[in-house]
C-alpha cells in the first residue's frame, strides 16, 4: 500500500491534461471523512469524476488512516492521531471505490471501518451505505467450524510479564488504566497454568452487526476436579472494555500488542476467528448462569511447550494452533466461581465456507 499523496497540479506541463480531466468540473470536489471506532463517515457517497479533495479527521480515541482503492487507484494518508486531520487529493475516474482504514494490516477495516464511494457523471440522491463494525452492506457471510480436544491448559490467576513498550500505552486508557493494571497483577494471561482435559467444538457465522451467530459446546475439568459445561448459542455485540463496537464474530483479525486494536498488554497475534458470546454455564451438571461472558480465539502460537509460559511478544507470524477460551461472570452478576481461561492444545480446523446471506 502506498503512503504518498496524489497531487494533480505538479507543474505547468500537466496543465493541458488537467484542463481535459476537469472539463465540466471548474473546482475540485470536497469530501469530508470522519474516522472513529469502528466506522468511516463520508459527507458524500457519490461524486462527479475529477479531482476530489478528502479532508480526513480522526474523531476516535486511537490512531487511524484513510485509504481509497479502486479503478487503478490505491492511496492513503499517513496515520492520523486522535483529534488530528489530514488531506488526500486524488483524481478519480468513473467507477466504485473502497474507502477504509488500513491500520493494523487492515484489522481496522475488518472491524467495520469501510465504506464505498461511487464516481459517476450524474449526481444522484443520498445513497450512503452503513459503515461500522460488522456492516452488512459490504460483508459476505462466512462460517467456520473448529474442533478442539484432549489436553487443556487452565490459565490460573496470577501476574504475567508484558513488554516495557506497553507501559506508556497504558497512559492513553485514562480511567480504564486501573483495570488494565489489575490484569497485569492477576491474569487472565498469567504464566501460572495447570494441565487438565476437555473438548470444544463450535461453528461461528460472520454475517454482520446483528446477524452474527455461534453454536457450540465446551466440556472440560478444572484443577479442583470440578466438571464444567458451556453451551454457546448467541453472540454479544455490546461494547467491551478499551474500544467500543467490539463484539460478535470476526475472521482473520490481527490484533492485541502493537496493532492498536484492543489491549496492548498481551502478545501481538493473528486469529483465524475471534468471537464474543453469552453462554449457559454448568458446574457438575448444575446451572450456574445463562449469561456467562465468553471470549474465544483461534490464534497464533503464543505459549512455550512444556510449561506453557508466554514465549513471544510478536507472535503474529507463528502458526495458528491455539484455541483460547475465557469465561467471566455476565454483566451485573455477582462474581461467582468462574472457571477462568483455557487453552485447548490440540485442535482441528475445518475449511471456511461461504453461506447464503
pTM higher than 0.75: no
CB 357 within 8 Å of CB 137? no
Q: Which residues contact 175 (CB under 8 A, 6 or more apart)?
A: none
Q: What is the pLDDT of residues 134-180, one digit of tens each?
A: 433 344 558 889 988 888 999 888 877 665 555 666 666 666 666 66
Tell how many helices (H) and how many strands (E) occur in the chain.
4, 20
Q: Model confidence at 258, in pLDDT bands (50, 70, 90)?
A: confident
List C-alpha distances in Å: 94 to 46, 143, 334: 10, 34, 58
Between 280 and 335, the more confident residue is: 280
pLDDT for residue 278 is more than 70: yes
Q: What is the pLDDT of residues 1-19, one digit of tens each?
A: 333 223 232 232 333 323 2
Share above pLDDT 90 across residues of the chain, in percent, rounded to a whole number: 40
Q: Model confidence at 123, in pLDDT bands (50, 70, 90)?
A: very low
What pLDDT, on the 0 to 100 scale, is given for residue 17?
28
CB 244 within 8 Å of CB 273? no
Q: Which three cell numbers stand for residue 58?
A: 480522526
Question: What DSSP state is assigned to residue 311?
Answer: -
Q: Residue 141 and residue 246: Cα distance in Å, rounded?
A: 18
Between 281 and 138, the more confident residue is: 281
Q: Which three cell numbers stand for residue 74?
A: 490505491
Query: Within 13 A of 269's CA, how many CA atoms are on the CB side?
Result: 28
What pLDDT, on the 0 to 100 scale, is given for residue 3?
31
pLDDT for residue 198 is more than 50: yes
Q: Residue 99 and residue 103: Cα distance in Å, rounded?
A: 13
Q: Residue 132 and residue 209: Cα distance in Å, rounded?
A: 8
Between 68 and 240, the more confident residue is: 68
Q: Residue 112 and residue 342: Cα distance in Å, rounded?
A: 29
Helix extents (H) in 26-162? 107-110
Q: Which three cell numbers stand for residue 39?
A: 466506522
- Region class of 336: left (phi > 0), else alpha (psi between -120 and 50), else beta: beta
**Nearest 10 degrees: CA dihedral of 109, 110, 111, 116?**
50
Q: Residue 300 and residue 338: Cα distance in Å, rounded?
A: 25
Q: Residue 192 and residue 310: Cα distance in Å, rounded?
A: 10
With H, G, I as helix, E, B as strand and everything else as coil, classify residue 247.
Answer: coil
What pLDDT, on the 0 to 100 scale, is given for residue 329?
78
Amino acid at each position: 500500500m502506498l503512503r504518498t499523496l496524489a497531487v494533480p497540479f505538479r507543474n505547468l506541463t500537466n496543465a493541458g491534461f488537467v484542463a481535459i480531466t476537469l472539463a465540466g468540473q471548474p473546482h475540485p470536489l470536497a469530501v469530508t471523512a470522519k474516522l472513529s471506532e469502528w466506522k468511516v463517515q463520508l459527507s458524500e457517497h457519490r461524486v462527479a469524476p475529477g479531482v476530489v479533495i478528502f479532508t480526513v479527521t480522526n474523531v476516535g480515541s486511537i490512531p487511524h488512516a484513510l485509504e481509497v482503492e479502486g479503478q487503478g487507484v490505491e492511496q492513503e494518508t499517513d496515520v492520523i492521531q486522535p483529534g488530528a486531520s489530514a488531506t488526500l487529493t486524488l483524481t478519480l475516474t468513473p467507477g466504485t471505490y473502497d474507502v477504509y482504514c488500513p491500520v493494523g494490516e487492515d484489522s481496522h477495516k475488518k472491524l467495520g471501518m469501510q465504506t464505498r464511494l461511487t464516481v459517476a457523471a450524474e449526481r444522484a440522491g443520498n445513497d450512503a451505505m452503513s459503515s461500522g463494525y460488522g456492516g452488512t452492506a459490504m460483508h459476505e457471510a462466512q462460517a467456520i467450524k473448529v474442533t478442539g480436544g484432549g489436553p487443556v491448559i487452565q490459565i490460573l490467576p496470577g501476574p504475567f510479564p508484558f513488554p516495557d513498550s506497553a507501559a506508556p500505552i497504558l497512559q492513553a486508557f485514562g480511567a480504564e488504566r486501573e483495570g488494565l493494571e489489575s490484569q497485569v497483577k492477576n491474569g487472565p494471561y498469567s504464566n501460572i497454568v495447570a494441565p487438565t482435559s476437555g473438548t470444544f467444538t463450535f461453528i461461528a457465522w460472520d454475517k454482520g452487526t446483528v446477524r452474527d451467530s455461534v453454536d457450540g459446546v465446551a466440556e472440560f475439568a478444572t484443577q479442583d476436579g470440578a466438571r464444567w459445561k458451556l453451551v454457546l448459542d448467541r453472540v454479544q455485540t455490546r461494547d467491551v472494555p478499551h474500544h467500543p463496537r467490539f463484539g460478535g464474530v470476526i475472521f482473520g483479525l490481527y490484533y492485541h500488542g502493537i496493532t492498536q486494536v484492543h489491549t496492548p498488554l498481551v502478545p501481538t497475534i493473528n486469529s483465524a476467528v475471534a468471537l464474543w458470546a453469552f453462554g449457559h454455564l454448568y458446574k457438575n451438571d448444575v446451572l450456574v448462569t445463562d449469561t456467562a461472558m465468553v471470549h474465544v480465539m483461534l490464534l497464533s502460537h503464543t505459549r512455550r511447550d512444556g510449561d506453557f509460559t508466554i514465549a513471544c511478544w510478536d507472535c503474529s507470524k507463528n502458526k495458528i494452533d491455539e484455541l483460547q477460551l475465557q469465561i467471566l461472570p455476565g454483566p451485573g452478576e455477582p462474581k461467582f466461581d468462574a472457571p477462568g481461561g483455557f487453552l485447548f492444545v490440540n485442535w482441528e480446523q475445518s475449511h471456511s465456507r461461504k453461506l447464503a446471506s
